[in-house]
Structure 1
Amino acid sequence: MAVATPGTAHRFAQVDVFTEHVLLGNALAVVFDADGLSEQRMQAIARWTNLSETCFLLAPTDARADYRVRIFTPDRELPFAGHPTLGSCHAWLEAGGRPRGAEVIQQCGVGLVRVRRDGKRLAFAAPPLKRSGEADAATRAHVARGLRVDESELVAVQWVDNGPGWVAALLRDAQAVLAIEPDYAAMRPLEIGVVGAHAQVSECAFEVRAFIPGLGSPEDPVTGSLNAGLAQWLIGAGLAPPRYVASQGTRLGRAGRVHVERLGDDVWVGGHAVTCVRGEARF
């Protein structure tokens, strides 16, 4: 393997997303001014940070966008992801970025994504689903094996894919979601989201978990893209109110809070973000 020498200095930030309190959300690395980095270099940096996602901010190629982002996991690029969208926007604004209009327009692999400021929170407009509808019998059985549950425990299984490939399972309640001990080998190659309602709604209406067997940390702490797909399904089917908060990351010692709201034809997915690290990195 060739040894790479330190390269150009880049502004760098590490952000905790879907939380107001550091260490309780989902961490994200953000590399600024990344236009000179090759795709191979970006992937190497994402492997090095070893976070669920690392984002690279570039000049937009679409005149309607305020900035462009490329999103990498440690092993591949994603066309879209939710916590990188909010975390990148937070870092861009905090570094002095100024949107051209009332909303921030992010360019990424799925096209243009709108981000609005909702008080201290940011929220993105959920992109259209690339794949939706009820999963077939074979997929349903695959999901049950991966989650180590009997098929009878799956209230519904639905495709909610907006880029990363999510298939989602609705369980009877939040406690059933928290009790899952997944079989990641049996789950492959599916990426499975699980949701269940809390019996007594106080702050949070739903509990969510996200299983990604291809990653080194195969349970994602808090997942914007999954929550976006879940919201489009659950609200559209009348299984969730038009405005609610979901909890995610409980089993991992996190306290992620995802704020969902349908306004007209748009489903907005939002949360707080806090910067934990700010400085310079030589890549």
Structure 2
Amino acid sequence: MALKFSTLDVFTDHRFGGNPLAVVLDADDLSTSQMQAIAREFNLSETVFVLKSTRPAHSAKMRIFTPRSEVPFAGHPTVGTAVLLAELKAPAQNGEADALVVLEQAIGTVRVGVRVRNGTPAFAEFDAPKLPAEAGVLPPSDVLAAGLGLIPSEIGFENHTPLCFAAGNTFAFVPVASLDAIRRARVNGAHWERAFEQQGVVGAYLYTRQCEHTSSAFHVRMFAPEVGIPEDPATGSAAVGLTGVVHHFDRLPDGTHRRIVEQGYEMGRPSQIVLTLIVDGGKLTSVRIGGSAVRVTEGTIDV
């Protein structure tokens, strides 16, 4: 059985940047173990398997695998899969097309708006299927610092302190004082396990207000070695959690707030994630995640 696949670079407007993604089409006859083996073979942060939808009005069902495990939701697979399906099923007319791609995921149904224009990368945006919520307690800052190869004084800035937040996946959100410190952070051997692996989190999401670009609100990094991701170039599901962290500490006023998150620069794969937060009555009521994606390769895989 030969299945078609495409790879895309997601959360970027050019090839060889952003977060690479593999999407395997017509994967209904694959077993879970086969999907996991294929994801391990691609060895990307995530691989998506597209299956027939369970409802006629939906575009497709999708399953998402890291090299080690299946996950219920992830941002860059959602954006990349929606862009690919929109381009395959709704080619641009007179240079442009807009599509609504409805994806069935383990977390629930996700509706993605895709804008396709000739000469520019496709852009996709969707409402987060779950709003972020606090989820657990982290060790003291000195333990977290040791796990990241930093010193305790480099953990935290302003009133921001480490927190666990979840929006489908749970991450440890660690504020870092400076761009220099976040660049030096790493998975630090045995200290990492005590800091993060005993907390039930997918990974550690580091963020600082000091950025490479003035248009960005946060510079971030994400480490998740336990699920086979030593470092991720762009992490949409964690970016959703970041909105909860930001509102928790910054107490944003009612209204619509747009933030650009930059990631992947230390890996040579710069990424930009567009976040739109809506606050009403002092509460975070909606989060949208957006980004561009470009196709890189196409091929077949024999199973």
TM more than 0.5: yes
1:176 to 165, 173, 181: 181
1:148 partnered with 2:160: no
2:294 to 271, 274, 278: 274
Cα distance between partner residues in 1 of 2:139 and 2:244: 23
Query: How do 1:156-195 residues align onto structure 2 when only pairs under 5 Å count?
Result: 156-188=161-193, 189=197, 190=201, 191-195=203-207
Q: Contact 1:232–1:267 (CA<8 Å) still a contact in 2?
A: no
> What's 1:39 paired with?
32
Shift of 1:143: 2.5
Seq. identity, %:
34
Amino acid of the structure 1 residue aligned with 2:151? D
Shift of 1:34: 0.8
The 3 A distance-change label for structure 1 pair 40 and 186 is same
Deviations 1:187-231 (A, max 9, x none): 232410000002686221210100012255401111111111112
The 3 A distance-change label for structure 1 pair 183 and 218 is same
Q: Contact 2:132–2:244 (CA<8 Å) still a contact in 1?
A: no
Q: Contact 2:132–2:240 (CA<8 Å) still a contact in 1?
A: no
Cα distance between partner residues in 2 of 1:255 and 1:220: 11
Amino acid of the structure 1 residue aligned with 2:22? A
Cα distance between partner residues in 1 of 2:189 and 2:77: 24
Between 75-84 and 145-154, the greater mean CA deviation after superposition: 145-154
The 3 A distance-change label for structure 1 pair 138 and 42 is same
Query: How do 1:73-112 residues align onto structure 2 when only pairs under 5 Å count?
Result: 73-96=66-89, 103-112=100-109
Amino acid of the structure 2 residue aligned with 1:44? A
The 3 A distance-change label for structure 1 pair 118 and 144 is farther
> What's 2:114 paired with?
117
1:69 partnered with 2:62: yes
The 3 A distance-change label for structure 1 pair 236 and 121 is farther
Cα distance between partner residues in 1 of 2:131 and 2:301: 36
> What's 1:252 paired with?
267
Shift of 1:118: 5.5
2:17 to 11, 16, 24: 24
- Root-mean-square deviation (Å): 2.6
Cα distance between partner residues in 1 of 2:143 and 2:55: 40
Deviations 1:41-63 (A, max 9, x none): 10111111111111001112356
Cα distance between partner residues in 1 of 2:213 and 2:286: 24
1:59 partnered with 2:71: no
| Secondary structure, counterpart of 1:75 in structure 2 | coil
Amino acid of the structure 1 residue aligned with 2:114? R
Cα distance between partner residues in 2 of 1:129 and 1:139: 26
| Secondary structure, counterpart of 2:225 in structure 1 | coil
Cα distance between partner residues in 2 of 1:73 and 1:193: 17
Q: Contact 1:184–1:213 (CA<8 Å) still a contact in 2?
A: no
1:48 partnered with 2:51: no
Unaligned runs of 5+ in 2: 92-97, 117-121, 280-284
Unaligned runs of 5+ in 1: 1-7
Shift of 1:67: 1.4
Amino acid of the structure 1 residue aligned with 2:300? E
TM-score with structure 1 setting the length: 0.86
Cα distance between partner residues in 1 of 2:262 and 2:212: 13
Amino acid of the structure 2 residue aligned with 1:43? Q
TM-score with structure 2 setting the length: 0.81
